[in-house]
A = this chain, B = another copy of it.
Amino acid sequence: MLIGKACRILGRVRCCVVKPLASLSLSSNMAKSKFEYVRNFETDDTCLRNCYIVVRLDGRNFHRFAEQHKFTKPNDNRALGLMSRSARSVMEELEDIVIAYGQSDEFSFVFKRSSTWFKRRASKLMTHVASQFSSSYVFYWKEFFLDQPILYPPSFDGRVILYPSNRNLRDYLSWRQADCHINNLYNTVFWTLVQRGGMTTAQAEDRLKGTLAADKNEILFSEFDINYNNESDLHRKGTTLIWEKRDETVIKRMKSPDEEEKHVIRSRRRVQAHHCDIIGEQFWEEHPDILEDDNS
């Protein structure tokens, strides 16, 4: 890093000049309070109360990132695992996140309606999530890609969306999972046509133009003997992270004179991953604690 010439000269001149040390500092102190009015330009972006706060992250230029890091097609399990690991890191830092859902290079985090994290300030919430996710992505890279190095720091952009009712929130999550399904079905057929059917990507694209989901299932089934429904849940359903209580047996050494050991059963909250349908009722019936009552 170079330091501009003018500045260095300026610095030198200053040191030579014999001036009362106090005056500079005093004026600097006064200067600060003189400038402090600029704080009033900050605006309040508090999220409306009693709404679910969703922060969604999307990878930036991840097509290029996937190319350069040779992600396998149509899905790279290492990359998906790293996304989930980073999302877990976010949840562990921000405990008011009650559910997170991810697929491909995106992840959505849902703060509970009554959350008061960062006084519900949208900018704080989304930048913290984006930051924690991104630093975790690089930090945990080697756990998933082992000896393959990460070539440059990736980035994700984020947004905040508010949902006033349980229905709206569930529809949001359903929308993302339906999107996962549609994209994964397309990608599965596309890459099967290319990798096993010997087509060029242009030919595969052409073949799929205008086809409905039914047609795509049919291609897989009749031409490649693949039943799409037998494909991996991870790829078809994406990843849902929630908090779950686990009973753990902990050995506690007592501070009493005889140093007796005690087995204590402790309940601990842990982030658990699911790869199941979250559009239907079953998931929500099995996890009634995720949503808060609309009229509470």
Which A residues are within 8 Å of any B CB, using their own CB? 1-4, 6-8, 10-11, 14-15, 20-26, 28-29, 31-32, 34-46, 48-51, 57, 60, 84, 89, 93, 118, 122-124, 126-128, 130-140, 150, 152-168, 171-172, 174-175, 178-179, 181-182, 185, 212-214, 216-218, 221, 227-230, 233, 237, 272-277, 279, 282-283, 286, 294-296
Q: Which of B31, B51, B227, B282 sits near A10, CB closer than 8 Å?
A: B282
B residues within 8 A CB of A166? 295
What are 9 A-B residue pairs whose CB atoms fall within 8 Å in the complex?
A8-B276, A11-B275, A26-B213, A29-B213, A32-B178, A42-B161, A135-B154, A138-B138, A140-B153
Q: Give the nearest-CB partner of A42 in chain B.
A: B161
Report yes or no: B159 in contact with A4, Cβ–Cβ below 8 A: no
Whether A41 contacts B276 in the complex (CB less than 8 A), given A1-B84, A15-B227, A21-B217, comes out as no
Task: Say how many copies of this protein the assembly contains.
Answer: 4
Give the shortest distance, in Å, between A4 (CB) and chain B (any CB). Answer: 5
A26 to B50, CA, bound (A): 28
A3 to B175, CA, bound (A): 22
Report yes or no: A3 in contact with B233, Cβ–Cβ below 8 A: yes
Report yes or no: A277 in contact with B218, Cβ–Cβ below 8 A: no
Q: Give the nearest-CB partner of A246 in chain B.
A: B2
B residues within 8 A CB of A28? 178, 181-182, 213
A229 to B22, CA, bound (A): 11
Report yes or no: A127 in contact with B159, Cβ–Cβ below 8 A: yes
Report yes or no: A41 in contact with B32, Cβ–Cβ below 8 A: no
Report yes or no: A150 in contact with B155, Cβ–Cβ below 8 A: no
A230 to B24, CA, bound (A): 13
B residues within 8 A CB of A22? 212-214, 217-218
Report yes or no: A48 in contact with B48, Cβ–Cβ below 8 A: yes
Q: Which of B24, B26, B93 sits near A229, CB closer than 8 Å?
A: B24
Give the shortest distance, in Å, between A71 (CB) and chain B (any CB). Answer: 17
The 8 residue pairs across chains A and B that have the minimum distance between CB atoms:
A25-B213, A7-B276, A22-B214, A164-B164, A35-B175, A127-B158, A32-B178, A135-B153
B residues within 8 A CB of A156? 127-128, 131
B residues within 8 A CB of A23? 214
Report yes or no: B212 in contact with A35, Cβ–Cβ below 8 A: no
Q: Give the nearest-CB partner of A35 in chain B.
A: B175
Q: Which of B50, B126, B131, B275 sits near A3, CB closer than 8 Å?
A: B275
